[in-house]
Amino acid sequence: MSDFGRIITAMVTAFDANENLDLSKQTKLIEYLFQNETDSIIVNGTTGESPTLSKEEKIMLFEHAVEHTKGKGKVIAGTGTNNTKESIELTKKAEEIGVDGILLVNPYYNRPNQEGLFQHFKTIAESTSLPVMLYNIPGRSAVNMTPETVLRLAETPNITMVKESSGDLGQAVEILKHAPDNFLLYTGNDDLTLPTLSVGGYGVVSVTSHVKGNEMQEMIQSYLAGDIKKAAKLNQDLYDIFNVLFSSPSPGPVKRVLNHLGVEVGSTRLPIASLSAEEEKYILGFFN
């Protein structure tokens, strides 16, 4: 089992003024994230605006991330789509490029039942030797993957992790209660990082780590060292940031904050619209 660390940043995708990929900005972003205690990165996840990226752009980003993370951390490629065959093709290409793991999101729009989810994920996982992270996000995919389905999938040798983004801590507990010892649960909700650790979770797939990576790592390490009071205080200090970064459609807020901090990543692509002046003022008020 590969160790992807406690903080995996769901990395934004950098664009130029014409909304084309800007790989020079992406390089600087990768360096910045690892300097600020990110352990691994996800490329082409939700925060990377995956629905707006072409297959060719996704492959370019995978290649670029693998090249520029050597000696720094690991790369997880988001290869899940709502088309099983297409996901297999992209997964095989990502493995050929040299990524360290893959992220498979719930099929969106199709609204499969639990058996459909099971067969979709199992079929893709069996097409690769890479570690697989399942990604349960019912708020975006319109279907929840139940703990029972996650546990069935955990019997597949290379399905070793889940990004649990339902926001339901009870669902996380049910998974952890019955999962194999080597199966890791990451929360996909920054504000549930500390509660997830407290029930046996392993870490977080984070947006906030783009701008508060050191503080989040300190919170996690304080908890693991048994300094619960310090971890709780750090969580309290970060709590407003967790919320403000999702006060408008993501990744609009985090991209604006990164640009404000001098880490240029450009704007979002439609259909995620640019922030209004009022939204910008509210968000940047937490970073001045």
* 62, 97 Cβ separation under 8 angstroms: yes
Give the rounded distance of the alpha carbon of 48 from its chain centre: 9
CA atoms of 104 and 253, how far apart (whole Å): 24
- Which residues are known binding-site members for pyruvate? 47, 205
Which one of 135, 186, 202, 223 is the catalytic residue? Answer: 135
Which one of 58, 163, 212, 255 is the catalytic residue? Answer: 163
CA atoms of 204 and 138, how far apart (whole Å): 17
* 12, 47 Cβ separation under 8 angstroms: yes
- Report the chain's terminal Cα–Cα distance, integer Å: 41
74 carries an active-site annotation: no
By CB atoms closer than 10 A (0-12, 13-18, 19+), residue 229 is exposed
163 carries an active-site annotation: yes
- Which residues are known binding-site members? 47, 205
Extended strands (E) in the chain: 7-10, 40-43, 74-78, 101-105, 132-136, 159-164, 184-187, 203-206
Q: CB atoms < 10 A from the CB of 249, how many?
A: 13
Annotated active-site positions, please?
135, 163
